[in-house]
Amino acid sequence: MCGIVCGIARHDIVPDLLEGLRRLEYRGYDSAGIAVRLDDGRLHRVRALGKVMELARRLAAEPVTSHAGIGHTRWATHGAPSEANAHPHISRGELAVVHNGIIENHAALREAQRAAGFEFTSQTDTEVIGHQIRRHLDAGLDLFDAVRAAAAELHGAFAIGVLSGAEPDRLLAARRGSPLVVGVAADAVYLASDAAALVPFTQDMVFLQDGDVAEVGIGLLRIVDAHGQPVQRPLRRSSLSAAATERGAYRHYMQKEIFEQPQAIADTLDGRLGESRVLEAAFGTEAAAIFDRVRELRIVACGTSYHAGCVARYWFEALAGVPCQVEIASEFRYRDSVVPADALLVAISQSGETADTLEALREARRRGYAHTLAICNVPESSLTREADLKLMTHAGPEIGVASTKAFTTQLVSLMLLVLALGRRHRLDAATEASLVDELRRLPAAVQAVLALDDTIAALAPDFADKHHALFLGRGVHYPVALEGALKLKEISYIHAEAYAAGELKHGPLALVDADMPVVAVAPSDPLLEKLKSNMEEVRARGGRLLVFADAGAGFDDTDIALVEVPTDTIDHLVPVLFTVPLQLLAYHVALIRGTDVDQPRNLAKSVTVE
Ligand code: G6P
């Protein structure tokens, strides 16, 4: 993780670095810093513990201007969040480096560099990069070759930006396993971890590929690939607009993103539904031929995206009749598992850069999975480039660290896959047609659920003083409960766990008392009566229930808090609707607790380290 933004411009680069860093804060916000080249060739560094706002304050107090600089916002891995560990790191006063990723052989490099007389001022793995480049410069290489030589000696994952006091016109970059994009403008050039950092300055982007080393300047872009061959990477026009990443009238990005869900779902469906069928060309030109051969599914993902996969498992087996397993990507990649014949490996990721998910995809290819599909929200992300097939969720930029609209658009995308595969297996045309109809109506159904906002805000105070909460669901609503608990713990810091309700009596019931609210996801489906029995077990132990149910569920609200969720859709899509009130609950509880909703402590949006 961490965010990098670097630039050379005919104008002062410092405001651009700050604006870019602000837009990258979702990648980490433990500290921020910049290093710029002064006119006399000296490097000047300003760093601050905490968010980019702190760095901006410091720069306002000690202003500096420059035409070339590199910046960084950090999510701490090696070394605590502190000013000393904040990037950029400078080697011998003349070479500044910003880094995203993890250098796995940093200890060995550090030892060799110490022996060679280099000094260290931080506990980071990053400092060795600058020193290693310096060693190659001392041995007579020019800056480009020195960066290439150093990059070749680094183990692990990295994207780096390098600024040299001796080189006024260029910045160096290298990437392996972490994203890096070059932004090209008439009077400036930029490097960043994400195109979203650069859209205020340019729409023209060149995405570096794994193994690339590049030097950039105004009118200069030289790239050498992993094999040392000069390469040209295509210039692409980003469709991101600067406004798409603005918060507008909303109090938080998360709130905005919750309320954007009807539109995000509509955008995800746009152009993918025929009259009564899913248009499978949406998955890529190869899709039809691949889908014909698929007999099984394996889904890998992390966090919220994993929960989307867990919901979809119920759909794949019940609706499509296709066997499906879902696994946390960090487990899958290291587990010796059997590769089923004719299996489609589906990797789900909002960012498309989550290290474990990306590596799980690569590992699956190495093990011989016949086909791979990425479901992803970021075009040009590593995941989408590496999978055979891709289906983009068109949720638009998601800034809040706690994922919301990415989740519901993932669910919708997975349903499209269920339909495309299902028609080759158990799904009949009439069921597909009715699901297609219901998908079209889904944005309006989600809109109706959002009207519960005030009701849920009124319930939140009962939660806000609690330390623990339990979420219960059954069947396809068990992963919805998992996602609800994750939302609550991420942004309110209340310890929340979800259980398949049938498991309640096998342990968690021991925790239930008046201080442990129990949230039940209770739509009227065939499992409702079973769930009601589980809820009685809670009630009998003095537990306090908050029940999300629909009109048909038949609860009376004498001694439970009841929220009636409008479920104007087919049963299979009800999980999408029940997700929304749980997001709102977490949001309102966090508001009362005064936490940092969009950037909760210790977390980051895009986890590009293992
Ligand atoms: C982080 C984020 C989560 C997200 C997970 C997976 O933990 O904070 O919101 O669900 O990564 O991210 P991905 O981009 O792969 O969906």
Indicate the pLDDT class of residue 352, thresholds 50, 70 and 90. very high
Describe the strand order of the beta sheet including 495-500 as a list of residue ranges.
495-500, 468-473, 517-522, 544-549, 561-564
Does a cis peptide bond (omega within 30 degrees of 0) precede residue 575? no
Sign of the Cα torsion 530, 311, 500, 549 reads: negative
- The DSSP code for 93 is T
Rg (CA), the chain: 25
Q: Is the pLDDT of residue 602 over 90?
A: no
CA nearest 174: which of 209, 212, 142? 212
Which atom from ligand 1 is nearest to the alpha carbon of 490? Answer: 8
d(CA 136, CA 141): 6
Name the residues annotated as catalytic. 2, 605
Ligand 1 and 549: CB distance under 6 A: no
Report angle CA 293, 294, 295 to the nearest 5 degrees: 115
Q: For residue 361, give the nearest of 346, 342, 341 by alpha carbon.
A: 346
Ligand 1 site, residue 330, Cβ cutoff 6 A? no
Torsion of CA 260, 264, 270, 276, to 10 degrees: -100
Nearest CA to ligand 1 atom 15: 349
Report the separation in Å between the CA atom of 7 and the middle of ligand 1, taken as the mean of its atom positions: 28
Spacing, Cα 424 to ligand 1 middle (Å): 32
335-349: pLDDT as tens digits: 999 999 999 999 999
Indicate the residue type of 586. Answer: A
pTM of the model: 0.81
Average pLDDT, the chain: 94
Ranges of CATH 3.60.20.10 domains, the chain: 3-245
Percent of the chain whose predicted confidence (pLDDT) is above 70: 100
Question: What is the CA(304)–ligand 1 centre distance, in A?
Answer: 6
Answer yes or no: CATH 3.40.50.10490 is held by domain 451-598: yes
Q: What is the dihedral of CA 125, 128, 130, 136, to 10 degrees?
A: -150
Residues 317, 322, 323, 324: what is their CA dihedral angle, to the nearest 10 degrees? -70
Sign of the dihedral through C-alpha 464, 466, 467, 468: negative
Under 8 Å CB-to-CB from 590, ≥6 apart: which residues?
A: 491, 492, 597
The torsion of the CA quartet 46, 49, 55, 57, rounded to 10 degrees, works out to: -120
Query: For a pocket test of ligand 1, which of 25, 26, 350 has the largest count of ligand atoms closer than 8 A to its C-beta?
Result: 350
d(CA 131, CA 94): 11
Tens-place pLDDT, residues 272-323? 988 899 988 888 888 999 999 999 999 999 999 999 999 999 999 999 999 9
Predicted pLDDT of residue 1? 66
* CATH number of 249-443, picked from 3.40.50.10490, 3.40.640.10, 3.40.1390.20, 2.40.110.20: 3.40.50.10490
Q: Which residues, 6+ apart, have CB-to-CB distance to 303 below 8 Å?
A: 354, 403, 486, 607
Asked whether 415 and 573 are in contact (CB, 8 A), the reply is yes
Give me the pLDDT at residue 608, please.
76
* Rounded Cα distance, 267 and 480, in Å: 22
Q: Is residue 303 within 6 Å of ligand 1 at its C-beta? A: yes
Q: CB of 122 within 8 A of CB of 84?
A: yes
- C-alpha–C-alpha distance, residues 337 and 311, integer Å: 22
User: Quick check: bond before 88 cis, omega within 30?
Assistant: yes
Are 391 and 375 a contacting pair, CB within 8 Å? Answer: yes
The partner residues of 349 in beta bridges, in order of sequence, read 376
262 CB under 6 A from ligand 1?
no
Q: What is the pLDDT of residues 10-34, one digit of tens each?
A: 999 999 999 999 998 878 889 999 9
CATH superfamily of 3-245: Aminohydrolase, N-terminal nucleophile (Ntn) domain (3.60.20.10)
Q: Find out whether the beta carbon of 1 lies less than 6 Å from any atom of ligand 1.
A: no
Closest CA to 353 of 610, 10, 557, 75: 610
- Alpha-carbon gap, residue 412 to 396, rounded angstroms: 15
> Does ligand 1 lie within 6 Å of residue 357's CB atom?
yes
The pLDDT value recorded for residue 315 is 98
Question: By mean pLDDT, which of 54-58, 136-140, 465-469, 554-558 is the weakest?
Answer: 554-558
Domain with CATH 3.40.50.10490 in the chain: 249-443, 451-598
Least confident window among 43-52, 380-389, 398-407: 380-389
